[in-house]
Amino acid sequence: MTSRVLVVDDDDVGRATMADLLRLEGYRVDDAAGGRQALDRLAGEPYDVVLLDLKMPGVDGVAVLQGAAEVAPETQIVVFTAHGSMETAIQAIRHGAYDYLLKPASTAEVVACIARAAAHHEERARERRLLESSAAALADVRAAGDGGDRVQWAGMALEPATRRLSGPQGEAELTPAELRLLLALLRRRGHVAEYVALVDQVQGYTVDAWEAPGMLRPVVSRLRHKVRLVGGQAGRIATVRGSGYVLEDADR
């Protein structure tokens, strides 16, 4: 997905130059000539990164930082100003700026900073999707069971809050990815959980069908080992070739 960038500067020439530069780098770019226009854009459109001048008439950059925290808290803001000092840098960071650049900065420096900010935005969005997906999976799994804090499967008990899986042969601590995988499989108990859907739920990425099995293989292998360690042969994660994985109980 192409990242969206908003360039905010009251200098018409500088703003147009920077917007054109970032478009050449492949970004989708909009611009705003002042703080009020920037806040209006942020309230109406989702942006990954804002390149923001601090010193502007009327609504200045600090006010934009404060307003963005309310209307676009996930957007990463890079302050880009000719009026820099240690005090203004600290002020910008305290108000939530991702980074701080002084004009004039080299093209390479600006492009690299925007790329880092965009990557940080995507990583935070991925983490948020994983949290939401895990919470939904856990709610569904609990609703299908007794509603308690522990989830039962094949003689084993999963405690999601501590990521502990216990059974007749001992217990093991799951990694966050292993927990997400087991919850996703438990949510689809009795049905095949498809590769592509599992990558999205376990790792937070949208991938093509041919990529998904390879991305899942390491975490599936680790979880299988822990399931055997804890539950013996009571339950297993079976591969449905060409489709995905399914949980199986020994007594079924």
Q: What is the pLDDT of residues 113-141, one digit of tens each?
A: 999 999 999 999 998 888 888 888 888 88
From 95-99, 221-225, 247-251, the region with the lowest mean pLDDT: 247-251
Q: Domain end: 71, 96, 126, which one?
A: 126
- Per DSSP bridges, beta strands 4-8 and 49-52 are parallel
pLDDT at 147: 61
Does residue 135 form part of some domain?
no
Same domain, 98 and 154: no
Range of the domain at 96: 4-126
- The stretch 45-51 carries a mean pLDDT of 95
Confidence of residue 176 (pLDDT cuts 50, 70, 90): very high
Instruction: Give the best-scoring range by mean pLDDT among 41-45, 88-92, 248-252.
Output: 41-45
Work out the burial of residue 151: count CB atoms within 10 Å of its CB; fewer than 13 is exposed, 13-18 middle, 19 or more buried: buried
Same domain, 120 and 37: yes
Q: What is the CATH number of the domain that holds 243?
A: 1.10.10.10
Same domain, 120 and 156: no
Q: What percent of the chain has pLDDT over 90?
A: 64
pTM attached to this predicted model: 0.74
Q: How many domains does the chain have?
A: 2
Q: How many residues does the chain have?
A: 252
Average model confidence (pLDDT) across the chain = 89
